[in-house]
Amino acid sequence: MQEPVRPTKIDPELRRKARALRRESTFPERLLWSVLRNRALSGLKFRRQQVIGPFIVDFYCDELHLAVEVDGESHVGRGEADDRRTAELASRGVRVIRFTNDDVMHDREAVAMVIQREAERIRGGRPSSEDPHPQPLSHPRKGERGADP
């Protein structure tokens, strides 16, 4: 597996922004953090609001080069930008899994199971599905990526 390319020195502005994002976590991010913190999920160490290159990912497991993103209302209509960001992270060796706020708030256990399943795939060296994203847990609402017009 390719090592993620991270600068030896993090841009001070990105560092400040990541700290602010940790202080101002959304409710769904706090819920998911309660599942991921203290190695509670399969002994994996996750960090919150981790800087990777020019990006800040919501949660990151360095051991597996796995990023977990929680997409809220700010991501509606940003599908192409999110896809470009995911592709750039993938080029740095980072696997990205995305969930909606609704997924986290309404079925935290299923979200944890998807993350755990992906961790097992990575640990076992088995390739992930051809799709760059695991199947979403919820159906997109009107106006969201993948929704009917």
CA separation (Å) from 27 to 73, 91, 99, 101? 13, 30, 14, 9
Q: What is the pLDDT of residue 131?
A: 41
pLDDT, position 73: 72
All domains in the chain, ordered by first residue: 12-124 (3.40.960.10)
- pTM above threshold 0.85: no
Q: Establish how many alpha carbons lie within 13 A of residue 74's alpha carbon, considering only the half-sphere containing its beta carbon.
A: 4
Question: How far apart, in whole angstroms, are the C-alpha atoms of residue 14 and residue 22?
Answer: 12
Q: Is the pLDDT of residue 123 over 60?
A: yes
Q: Which of 17-21, 22-26, 64-68, 139-143 has the lowest mean pLDDT?
A: 139-143
Residues 6+ away with beta carbon under 8 Å from 17? 56
pLDDT at 108 over 50: yes
The rounded mean pLDDT for the chain is 83
Residue 51 pLDDT greater than 50, yes or no:
yes
- 61: enclosing H helix or E strand: strand 55-61
Say what the pLDDT of residue 80 is: 85
Asked if the model's pLDDT at residue 114 lies above 60, the reply is yes
Q: Give the model confidence (pLDDT) of 65-91 as tens digits.
A: 999 999 887 655 677 888 999 999 999
How far, CA to CA in Å, does 12 sit from each of 9, 59, 83? 9, 19, 26
Query: Do residues 74 and 94 make contact, with C-beta atoms less than 8 angstroms apart?
Result: no
Q: How many C-beta neighbours within 10 Å does residue 88 have? A: 15
